[in-house]
């Protein structure tokens, strides 16, 4: 098994003359941007957020996607890997400082470049649809999926009115919940209404139940009531 190496790239920033930045995937599949300032043996985290929740966002709008467990921002450089492991969900075994041709890129351009490399795979959200069409989608959409935390989730969406959709049902059906017959909604799901379009449905599931879908396929004729095998999501 190959041991992960934290690869830090220098970048030019007048506010942080000894700045380094990197992007990595956590063990649960989240993609993190991390910026550091290193002064001798002192290390300061100057920025940190998920980029798989920030496509198209700039500036202060990224703040909502900062990892909630990230609490330590200043420490000795020797503690860098332990801080990342305990607060950013990724274990590295060593640090490598690399030269990068994109060290002068502004942050938004750097993120766009790295995102194109990170999100270069197709991840299809498969929905079973029925009912009248609204915004090119059936009035009811259902699926069974596995998210990036490997939890099995049932999702049912419906068209509401004025171009808006509503979450009819969303609950875990694995582990103890399946045995006890209870329906528990993922705690990170906070939305109820949303624009009833493919793009907004993908954004909703990616952001609030920890998925990474890139495209959506709507089909019919699949019985997801008797066969509860997830149709899509993390393997």
pLDDT tens profile 190-213: 999 999 999 999 989 988 998 888
Q: Is the pLDDT of residue 12 over 90?
A: no
Rounded Cα–Cα distance for residues 147 and 232 (Å): 9
Pick from 195, 198, 191, 193: nearest CA to 218: 198
Sign of torsion, CA 168 174 175 177? positive
Q: Which ranges of 127-187 does DSSP label H, i.e. alpha helix?
A: 175-180
Pick from 62, 80, 53: nearest CA to 202: 53
Q: What digits encode the pLDDT tens for the residues 31-75?
A: 899 999 999 999 999 999 988 755 544 554 555 588 989 999 999
Rounded Cα–Cα distance for residues 48 and 220 (Å): 41
Please count the residues of the chain.
235
Q: What digits encode the pLDDT tens for the residues 122-171?
A: 789 999 999 999 999 999 999 999 998 889 999 999 999 999 999 999 99
Which of 15-19, 22-26, 99-103 has the highest mean predicted lDDT (pLDDT)?
A: 22-26
Q: Structure tokens of 160? A: 């509401």
pLDDT of residue 139: 97
pLDDT of residue 149: 82
């Amino acid at each position: 098994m190959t041991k992960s190496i934290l690869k830090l790239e220098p970048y030019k920033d007048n506010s942080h003359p000894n700045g380094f930045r990197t992007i990595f995937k956590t063990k649960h599949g989240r993609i993190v941007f991390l910026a550091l300032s290193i002064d001798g043996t002192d290390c300061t985290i100057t920025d940190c957020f998920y980029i798989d929740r920030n496509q198209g966002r700039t500036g202060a709008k990224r703040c909502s996607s900062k990892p909630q467990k990230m609490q330590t921002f200043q420490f000795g450089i020797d503690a860098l890997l332990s801080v990342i492991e305990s607060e950013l969900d990724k274990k590295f075994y060593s640090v490598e400082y690399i030269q990068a041709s994109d060290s002068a890129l502004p942050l938004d351009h750097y993120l766009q470049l790295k995102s194109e490399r990170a999100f270069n795979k197709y991840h299809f959200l498969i929905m079973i649809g029925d009912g009248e069409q609204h915004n090119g989608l059936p009035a009811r959409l259902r699926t069974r999926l596995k998210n990036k935390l490997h939890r099995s989730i049932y999702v049912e969406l419906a068209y509401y009115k004025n171009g808006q959709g509503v979450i009819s049902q969303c609950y875990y059906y694995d582990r103890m919940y399946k045995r006890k017959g209870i329906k528990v909604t993922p705690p990170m799901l906070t939305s109820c209404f949303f624009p009833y379009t493919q793009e907004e449905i993908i954004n909703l599931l990616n952001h609030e139940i920890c998925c990474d879908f890139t495209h959506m396929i709507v089909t019919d004729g699949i019985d997801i009531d008797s066969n509860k095998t997830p149709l899509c999501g993390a393997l």
